[in-house]
Amino acid sequence: MDNVTLQDQNIGRHFPEMARLFIDVMDEGSSEKDLREEYIRDGDIILHLKAAEDPTGRMLGFSWVARSRLSPEKASLYLIVPPAFRRQGFGSLLFTDMEQTVRAAGIHTLEAPVLDDCVEGLAFVRARGFTEKYHQLGMSLDLTNFDKPAYDALIDSLEASGFVFTSMEALGDTEEARRKLYALNDTTSSQTMGASREHSWDSFEDFQNRVCGADWYIPAGQMVVIDSLSGDWAAMSAITRFQGADYAYNLFTGVDERYRGRRLGTAVKVLALRYARDRLDAREARTHHNAGNLPILAIDRVLGYTLGRGKYTMQKILD
């Protein structure tokens, strides 16, 4: 420990390794390009960004804290130490340094994601005063064996009743379409059973930068359902394949509460999964759901998903 130093993050030196750790350790897809763009875009709210290094310059772990734009008294924390370097005090060193910074910045609430099968990580944050805020269940699906002819009949019947199944690619991925996608995504995510009713973005411009501008945003994988009678956007399912990942990831599936009970969620998700199988060449799809979101869990069980690695969002109230 005497030879370990904490360094301000260096984009060129640290970000390639950080991107790898987000995939390998946190099961999250963040390419090096995504991290660079996030760093530049969110520089005004990044409170802390440090790497622990040994004398050779090898990164032993890192901490990244960003203030919430929607609730400035809150901040999100990523503290990642590779398994080979755990139980050696590097995480404690990073955490102590980080906590001093966020307290000085006036942060009241700190939230951190921890994989639900990471016993060490959960023990680490609980020992430092974190408690569970909510649990996201991990789900996975074998794409080579999920499809059934009944889904074609379901989609046909919904189209016959006036619903149009399309994608952002087919709609030209225009600003007008993006604004409607933003409104639908923001509305349905806040309506989700078990959700905290918090908004994910503070404006369309924020959505445009963080979603549409990300490496993982694929217009053809952003499936939407439009009610042709009213013109309303009724449902959506977004899927991608993160750079460096060997699976597809279903980012979000949502149905406006006015249109629930018509199996739109199942139908639009089937189209997203078919796209991942046929166009992204993925043999597996993964996703995460809030444990309280019973409707989407029921849909996924019917589709054939099985439980996999999930995540806890852990929260600490700072005195």
What confidence tens digit (pLDDT) does each residue in 213-249 have? 988 999 999 999 999 999 999 999 999 998 778 899 9
**CA 314/CA 112 separation, integer angstroms:** 5
- pLDDT exceeding 90 applies to what percent of the chain? 65
For 237, 241, 253, the CA distances from 161, given in Å and listed in that order, are: 20, 32, 21
| Residue type (1 letter), 156 | D
Provide the 3-class DSSP secondary structure of residue 116: coil
Q: Which pTM was predicted? A: 0.78
Query: Where do the structural domains in the chain lie, given as residue ranges?
Result: 5-107, 139-310
Q: What average pLDDT score do residues 191-211 get?
A: 78
Rg (the chain; Cα; Å): 21
Residue 27 pLDDT greater than 80, yes or no: no
Show Cβ contacts of residue 283 under 8 Å, excluding neighbours closer than 6 positions: 142, 143, 144, 247, 277
Question: What does CATH list as the number for 5-107?
Answer: 3.40.630.30
**CA 196/CA 194 separation, integer angstroms:** 7
Question: What does CATH list as the number for 139-310?
Answer: 3.40.630.30
Q: What is the pLDDT of residues 165-198, one digit of tens each?
A: 999 999 999 999 999 999 999 999 887 654 556 6
The C-alpha angle 214, 295, 222, rounded to 5 degrees, equals: 25
Nearest CA to 187 among 207, 167, 168?
Answer: 207
The C-alpha angle 242, 243, 248, rounded to 5 degrees, equals: 30
Q: Is 198 exposed, middle or buried (0-12, 13-18, 19+ CB in 10 A)?
A: exposed
**CA 121/CA 124 separation, integer angstroms:** 5
Write down how long the chain is: 319
Q: Around 85, how many Cα atoms within 13 Å sit in the side-chain half-sphere?
A: 22
CA–chain centroid gap for 186, Å, is 14
| 231, two tokens | 């013109």
Local confidence band at 2 (pLDDT 50, 70, 90 cut-offs): low
- Residues 237 and 268: beta-carbon distance below 8 Å: yes
The answer to whether domain 5-107 and domain 139-310 are alike in fold is yes
**CA 254/CA 260 separation, integer angstroms:** 10
| Residue type (1 letter), 288 | H
